[in-house]
Amino acid sequence: MNVFKILEAKENSKLFLLGNEAAVRGALESGVSVVSTYPGTPSSEIGNVFSKIAKAAHVYFEFSANEKVAVEVSAAAAASGLRSFAFMKHVGLNVAADSFMSVAYLGVNAGMVILTADDPSMYSSQNEQDNRIYARLANVPLIEPSSPQEVKEFMKYAFDISEQFHLPILFRTTTRVSHMRGVVETGKLVPPKEKGFFKKEPNKYVPVPQNSRRMHKELMEKMNKLAPLISESPLNKVFDFGNEIGVITSGGAFNYVMDVVKEYSLPVKILKLGFSHPFPEKLVLDFLGEVQKVVVVEEVEPIMEKEVLAIVGKYGLNNKIYGKLSGTMPRIYEYTPDIVKNGLFNTLGRKIEAKEILKPESAIPSRPPVLCPGCPHRATYYAVKDAIKELGLKDVIFPSDIGCYTLGIQKPYETADFLLSMGASIGTACGFAHATNQKVVAFIGDSTFFHAGLSALANAVHNEAKAVIVIMDNRTTAMTGRQPSLSEPVNGMGGEAPELSISDIAKAFGVKFVETVDPYNLHKTKEVFKRALQYDGLAVVITKHPCALITDAEKRKRNFWITFRINQDKCTRCMVCITDFACPSFFVAEDGSVHIDPLICDGCGVCTQVCPYNAIEVRR
C-alpha cells in the first residue's frame, strides 16, 4: 500500500491498515504536531510511515538518538502547548523511564501520548516484560486497543483525556495488535498547530524536592479525579452472550475471547477494558454482581487479575476468580485462540474434543534468520575470526549488542557471547576487561552506538578498559527496517542533516587506537584487527560499509547487477566458502559440487577473497 493513503484518505474511507499504520492516522486525526521515536520492533512501522509523510502533514518528526530523548522531545512540545506523540518498543520504555516518570509529575499542557509496543512471546525482543506495570509505577492512565480500528479511535480519545487531565497517557499495544492488519474507517484530519509557546513556570516544571513533593500530591489528585470516570468510559464495554461465567479481558487477548465465544456459542459475559488504569472499580464491581465465576484473560502478567482479586477482598465478595494465579491460564508467552478456548472450556466445565493434528514426517530444514547476502557484518566477523586464528588467541570474549549483527551468535561465526541491552556491549566489555585476563572484542552497530554506547565508551576510556570495540557502521538502523542513524547525513523527514563522525568522537574521547576500515577488504580488515588485538589498551575499530539492502537498492536503480559463479574446474570442494564464510547464496548440489544461486547472490564479491583456489568468478 502507498503509505501516503494514510494521510490522503478522505473521511469515511475504508483502509486496510496495520495497527501501527492506524496509530499514525489516529495521531493525525488528533492534530498531533510533534512526533518522536527510536525504531524498535514491533513499533517500527509507525516511524517508517511518519518519516515519509511528516513533511506533507506539517508535523515535526524525528528519529531520536534513543527512546529517552524521544520522550524528552515530546514532553517539551507538550509543555509548549503542542500535541505530541512518542512511541517505542517495550524495552525502549526502560531507556526512557527516568524522564517518563518525571513527565507524570510535571504533567502536560497539550495532549501527550506515549505508545509502548509490547512483545509477548518475544518475536523480536530480549524479553516479554509487561509495560502495563509502568502505568502503575508512574501513575498515569493506561489505554489498551485490540484492533487497528481501535488503535486509531483510542488514540483520539487518549489525546483528549491527556489534555483534559494534564497527564501523559500510556498507550499499550502488543505485537499482535501492532502487526495485525484490519479494516480502518477514517475520520477527519485535524490540522496541527505549527508552533507552540513555552510559558515559564519553574515551580510547575522543575521537580526539585520542594516542588516534587507537591507534584506527587497533584498527580494523585488528578488520578483520583479521573478514576470514577473510567467506569463510564466508552472504551470499556460489556459483550453479553450469557451469564454462566464472566470474562475480563483487554488488548489482543480480547480478540481470541470473542472468536472462541462466538464459534462455540459459549454462555459468557465479557467485560473488555480498553481503559484499564486507573482500574474501573465500580464497573468491575457491577460485573462481579452479575457473574459468580470470572476468568481474567490477559497476556503476560496477572495484573488485572490481582486488581479484580483486590476488589473481591475489599468488598468481601464470594466470586471465584480464575486466571494465571489459579493456574487456569498460562503464566508466560502470548495467548492463542486454543489457549483461550482451553481456559474458557475448563472454567465452564466443558470437555474439549481432541483434534487430530497432521504432522510432517519428512525432515524439514531449519531456516533461521540469516545475515543477508552481501552483509558487511559477515565480512567483519570473517576477518576478526581469521585475525584471532592467526594470532593463536584463545577464549576471546565477544560481548554483543542489539542489531542484525546479533546473528553472529550462529555458526560458523559464534561472535556473540554476552548480551544485555542496547549499548551494553561496551559496558560489559569494560567489566570483562577488568574481571578476566581474556581478550575482549565487543561488537556494536552505529545506531546502537549513538543510542547508548557513547557514555559506555567514555567509561571505557576513563576507567582504562583494555578491549577492542568494533563499531560496525553500516550507515543505517538496519534490523528495524533501515531508518536513518545519526551517522547518516539525512534526518527522519528525509531532509539533509549533519553527519556525525564516529571516528572523530572516539578520538575526542581520548581513544588512542582508532582505525576505520572497509570490511569488504578482508585482508586489510584482518590486519587492522591483528594490530588492535595486540594493542595494549583500548582500541576502536570502525568497520564501515553500507548495509547490503541499501547497496542492493542502489544497484537495482542503476541497473548494475552482477553475480558470481563457481568455476567447477578450479573448485576443489574444500568447503571454506560454506563452512567459514556461510553466505546464504552458496549451496551444495546432490553430487557434492558447490554452487552460487544467482537469485540470492548480491554480487558483493567478498567470497572471491575467501576462496583459496580463486574458483569464484563473475558470472557472464
Rounded Cα distance, 74 and 86, in Å: 6
What is the DSSP code (8-state) at residue 350? P
Site for another protein in 343-372 (CB under 8 A): 355-370, 372
Torsions phi, psi for 452 (to 5 deg): -150, 15
Shortest approach of another protein to residue 236 CB, angstroms? 17
Question: Helix, strand, or coil here: 200?
Answer: coil
**Residue closer to another protein, measured from CB, 203 or 579:** 579
Considering only 55, 136, 181, 531, the residue that binds another protein (CB under 8 A) is 181
Instruction: Please enumerate in sequence order all residues whose Cβ is within 8 A of that of 384, keeping only pairs 6 or more positions apart, or say none.
Output: 415, 441, 470, 525, 526, 529
Residue 459 one-letter amino acid = N
Answer yes or no: are the C-beta atoms of 344 and 295 closer than 8 Å.
yes
Considering only 225, 587, 613, 618, the residue that binds another protein (CB under 8 A) is 587
**Residue closer to another protein, measured from CB, 355 or 620:** 355
Residue 329 one-letter amino acid = M
Torsions phi, psi for 277 (to 5 deg): -145, 130
Shortest approach of another protein to residue 245 CB, angstroms? 19
**Residue closer to another protein, measured from CB, 262 or 314:** 262
Shortest approach of another protein to residue 135 CB, angstroms? 24
Q: Determine, following the binding rule CB under 8 A, whether residue 185 of this chain makes contact with another protein.
A: no
Rounded Cα distance, 544 and 539, in Å: 16
**Residue closer to another protein, measured from CB, 30 or 585:** 585
Distance (Å) of CA 486 to CA 95, 445, 562: 18, 11, 31
Contact string 31-50 vs another protein (x = CB under 8 A): ----------xx-xx-----
Site for another protein in 409-448 (CB under 8 A): 411-412
DSSP per residue over 557-618, as a string? Answer: HTT----EEE-TTT-----HIIIII--TTEEE-TTS-EEE-TTT-----THHHH-TT--EEE
Q: Determine, following the binding rule CB under 8 A, whether residue 404 of this chain makes contact with another protein.
A: yes
Considering only 9, 76, 549, 562, the residue that binds another protein (CB under 8 A) is 549
Q: Determine, following the binding rule CB under 8 A, whether residue 584 of this chain makes contact with another protein.
A: yes
Site for another protein in 109-138 (CB under 8 A): 123-124
Peptide bond before 278: cis, by omega within 30 degrees of 0?
yes
Is 210 exposed, middle or buried (CB count within 10 Å of its CB: 0-12, 13-18, 19+)?
Answer: exposed
Strand 34-37 relative to strand 84-89, pairing: parallel
**Residue closer to another protein, measured from CB, 160 or 259:** 259
* Binding footprint of another protein, residue count (CB under 8 A): 61
Question: Helix, strand, or coil here: 365?
Answer: coil
Q: Determine, following the binding rule CB under 8 A, whether residue 395 of this chain makes contact with another protein.
A: no
Contact string 243-272 vs another protein (x = CB under 8 A): ---------x-xxx-xx--x----------
How far is CA 13 from its chain centroid? 30
Considering only 160, 338, 499, 518, the residue that binds another protein (CB under 8 A) is 338
Instruction: Please enumerate in sequence order all residues whose Cβ is within 8 A of that of 504, keeping only pairs 6 or more positions apart, or say none.
Output: none
Contact string 502-541 vs another protein (x = CB under 8 A): ----------------------------------------
Q: Determine, following the binding rule CB under 8 A, whether residue 579 of this chain makes contact with another protein.
A: yes
Shortest approach of another protein to residue 178 CB, angstroms? 9
**Residue closer to another protein, measured from CB, 508 or 599:** 599
What is the DSSP code (8-state) at residue 496? B
Shortest approach of another protein to residue 557 CB, angstroms? 13
Residues that bind another protein in the complex, under the rule CB under 8 A = 1, 14, 16, 18, 41-42, 44-45, 123-124, 146-147, 176, 179-183, 252, 254-256, 258-259, 262, 336-338, 355-370, 372, 404, 411-412, 478-479, 481, 549, 578-579, 582-584, 586-588, 599
